Amino acid sequence: MPPGSTANNAAAAAAAPPVPPVRAEGARFRRGTIQTRSAASIGRGLRINSRDSIYRRALAAADLLAGLTVSALLAQSGAPELLIVGVPLAVIGAAKLRGLYDRDANVIEKSTVPEIPSLFALATSITLTAFLTAGIVTGTMATPAQIGLAWVSLTIMLVTTRRLARACAQRLTPPERCLLAGAGARGAALYEGMDHGGSDRVMVGFLDLEHVGPGFASTRALLEAVDRFDPDRVVLVPGGGSSDDVMFVVHDLKESGVKVSYVDSSAWVLGSSVEVDSIDGATLLGMRRFEINRSSALLKRGFDLVGATVMSILTLPLLIAVAIAIKLDSDGPVIYRQRRIGRHGSEFSILKFRSMIDGAHGLRPDLAALDEGANGLFKIANDPRRTRVGRLIRRYSIDELPQLFNVIRGEMSLVGPRPLVPEEDARIEGRFRRRLDLPPGMTGHWQVVGGPRIPIEQMVRLDYLYIANWSLWGDIALLIRTIPIVIGRRGI
């Protein structure tokens, strides 16, 4: 196993003795009294800046390549050479103004999906400006088809090339070394989650702030942990303290040359459902009402109807081929119907291609010992009840495609809460039953986070927050994030 592997780093962190707190009776917590710029912090900063620079240059190269798409189309329309050459540079300049080269330096998860709306807006503004300018200079306006082709091409190229650029940068740079400093069980739980996911990071240690003392001692122990484990980033999960304490801790961590990610206790609850307001110097967070309004509901339904219809037409040959294969492989119906709980607690029959032998549900009690689902969600990775065709279609979630007809009928949504069987739904009580305010989805947060492996308590919390923070772009992003999960055959 290589010395820099995640397992080795985690083992080293676990074997190392805890960082002892330093007694400092009578010491006052003042900015600038704890940490000064040392040779170690300067070297650490250079290492971090080198990685960030590789990401920025890779993204700039990707945008330059994408901008050449519009240049090629402008050249065909007879635009001036200066404009043709200037478009790729304009793409890079506009991306810089939108902060699209600086985001990766501030986040742990370096993904292209969150910036797609910004890339869409960038492609729109660059394309329209370029063709309008070309028309004014040459006196010949481009056709709507030419503008539309350039706009779509630039959008697709920006997303695709940026995704490839991040993959290349990740291969050229070592994983980001993360030290988590948290209080008690909450910090430990976050450490476990971060340690088991993401190839672009490695967890080098965990400092439990509950055991090192408050104020000055806690900060001193944290800075000593930075010197010991040499992280690139400190993930700070405070358990208490004033805002001034947090501000000074963050300042001293930055002085030590590391990046800082701060976990706000309210972020999980608020999500994206807030609007920032300012009155007389005070910052207010405006909370959105829980339910989505009528126009948003109609927008979501329209998106579901169009999306499910298009996907049904595109996958029709596959649907027919799978139906024939199931019929030839084993006895029983092609479509398996199961009762699920839908919107507002109403029952409906969910549609799936049959992937198991006929009568498989009656064998569940005999297979209870093989259950791998979390806290009441029955799932078996290598289920002996599956047929030969069933194993193939389950591997790539093809058995779920008939649910597109549930979506068209309004019983389900493309994205939404997890559809539960009645016995699973009966376990959910109280305010979390509001998860049923929207139709269940073919995919959702539960699918992206871990599917049936996550506990049911966490699943219903994700569903609840999904409704509280709903947006159409959120649905599109979840659909995009589901694609690599299905292709990569993650989940059971």
Measured in residues, the chain has a length of: 492
Domains with residue ranges and CATH for the chain? 6-22+175-287 (3.40.50.20), 49-172 (no CATH), 294-487 (no CATH)
> Which pLDDT belongs to residue 34?
39
Q: Which residues contact 424 (CB under 8 A, 6 or more apart)?
A: 376, 377, 456
> Which pLDDT belongs to residue 432?
80
> Which pLDDT belongs to residue 107?
86
pLDDT tens-digit readout, 134-153: 888 777 777 788 788 888 99
User: Virtual CA dihedral for 176, 241, 188, 462, nearest 10 degrees?
Assistant: -90
> Which pLDDT belongs to residue 7?
44
> Which pLDDT belongs to residue 14?
43
> Which pLDDT belongs to residue 400?
93
> Which pLDDT belongs to residue 225?
87
> Which pLDDT belongs to residue 463?
84
Strand partners, 236: 181, 262
> Which pLDDT belongs to residue 481?
86
Task: Find, among 411, 404, 410, 402, the residue nearest to 342 by Cα.
Answer: 411
User: Cα(304)–Cα(312) distance, rounded to whole angstroms?
Assistant: 12
> Which pLDDT belongs to residue 445?
84
User: Cα(29)–Cα(251) distance, rounded to whole angstroms?
Assistant: 12
Task: Find, among 203, 206, 196, 207, the residue nearest to 178 by Cα.
Answer: 203
Low-confidence ranges of the chain (pLDDT < 70): 1-39, 79, 184, 196-199, 211-218, 239-245, 264-276, 278, 280-283, 285-291, 359-382, 450-454, 488-492
The number of CA neighbours under 13 Å toward the Cβ of 378 is 15
> Which pLDDT belongs to residue 308?
96
**Is 277 exposed, middle or buried, given 0-12, 13-18 or 19+ CB atoms closer than 10 A?**
exposed
Question: What pTM was computed for the model?
Answer: 0.67
> Which pLDDT belongs to residue 324?
95
**Residue 43's CB: how many other CB atoms inside 10 A?**
12
